[in-house]
């Protein structure tokens, strides 16, 4: 009687993607004019996580986000979203796949009204009735935008423009939201409001990768964190742990 050896069942691409992180960067290098801005970067974000990336100015944080979105070329390594390589995919394709970035500087259309700006976020969506419902939800989150919906976006304050950029991203129905310095240059009361919104977006199940100069708030809000210095990740781990790390406290929390 012969022993029967069954070959292991092949794992289909869908099952493999389900077990893989939603976003995975492996050994990523990014170079600008011969200078390596990001070196050998390993980073992952699992579905449903809120992960922060902190570090001083020029550490390579924004470059990392721009590389994920294909806005700067990657010199080496791989970037995968839902298990698929991202290289060479245009930004509008990424938005359709649920990967949305709110860039530093907000990127709003100053000549368009607030309402027109918000609807630009939904340009890939067919479900017009749901878009209207989502627009009203954004107005509930940001009453200031509701009051000014017919005004041009260029008349808004910096904090209101950041609200608008976040609202527009919400209307894209993101699965993964990349936030690049959302509180940069904002008054403390506005910083609080933006973080409150990030918290509520995460509570709805949106996966978030947050780049933030306010290390304390970012670590308090997120589950895991990465600390970047001179283009490299020097520390990573649960955010609570990083909050109490002496190196992090000395360098980023002013203690």
Q: What is the pLDDT of residues 8-59, one digit of tens each?
A: 444 455 555 557 899 999 999 999 877 889 999 999 999 999 999 999 888 9
Find the CATH number of the domain harbouring 166: 3.40.50.300
Strand order across the 207-211 sheet: 99-102, 176-180, 207-211, 50-55, 224-229, 232-238
Kindly report, residue by residue over 162-220, the tens digit of the pLDDT.
Answer: 999 999 999 999 999 999 999 999 999 999 999 999 999 999 999 999 999 899 999 99
Based on C-alpha coordinates, what's the Rg of the chain? 20
Question: Is residue 11 in a domain?
Answer: no
Q: How many domains would you assign to the chain?
A: 1
Question: Is residue 14 in a domain?
Answer: no
Question: Is residue 235 in a domain?
Answer: yes
Question: Is residue 12 in a domain?
Answer: no
Question: Is residue 123 in a domain?
Answer: yes
pTM of the model: 0.89
Question: Is residue 37 in a domain?
Answer: yes
Question: Is residue 2 in a domain?
Answer: no
Show the domain range for 174: 20-252
Strand order across the 35-45 sheet: 35-45, 23-32, 76-81, 84-85
Question: Is residue 15 in a domain?
Answer: no
Rounded CA separation 63/58 (Å): 9
């Amino acid at each position: 009687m012969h022993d029967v050896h069954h070959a292991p069942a092949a794992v289909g691409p869908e099952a493999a993607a389900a077990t893989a992180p939603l976003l995975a960067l492996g050994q990523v290098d990014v170079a600008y004019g011969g200078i390596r801005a990001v070196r050998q970067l390993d980073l992952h974000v699992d579905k449903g996580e809120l992960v922060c990336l902190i570090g001083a100015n020029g550490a390579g944080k924004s470059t990392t986000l721009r590389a994920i979105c294909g806005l700067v070329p990657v010199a080496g390594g791989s970037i995968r979203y839902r298990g698929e390589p991202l290289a060479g995919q245009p930004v509008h394709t990424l938005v359709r796949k649920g990967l949305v970035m709110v860039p530093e500087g907000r990127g709003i259309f100053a000549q368009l009204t607030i309402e027109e700006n918000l609807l630009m976020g939904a340009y890939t969506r067919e479900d017009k009735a749901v878009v209207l419902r989502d627009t009203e939800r954004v107005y509930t989150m940001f009453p200031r935008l509701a009051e000014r919906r017919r005004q041009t976006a260029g008349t808004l304050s910096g904090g209101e423009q950041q609200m608008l950029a976040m609202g527009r991203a919400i209307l894209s129905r993101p699965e993964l939201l990349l936030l690049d310095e959302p509180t940069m240059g904002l008054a403390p009361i506005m910083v609080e409001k933006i973080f409150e919104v990030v918290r509520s977006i995460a509570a709805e199940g949106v996966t978030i990768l947050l780049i933030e100069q306010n290390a304390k708030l970012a670590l308090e809000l997120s589950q895991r964190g990465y600390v970047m210095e001179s283009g490299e990740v020097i520390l990573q781990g649960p955010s609570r742990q990083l909050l109490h790390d002496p190196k992090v406290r000395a360098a980023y929390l002013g203690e």
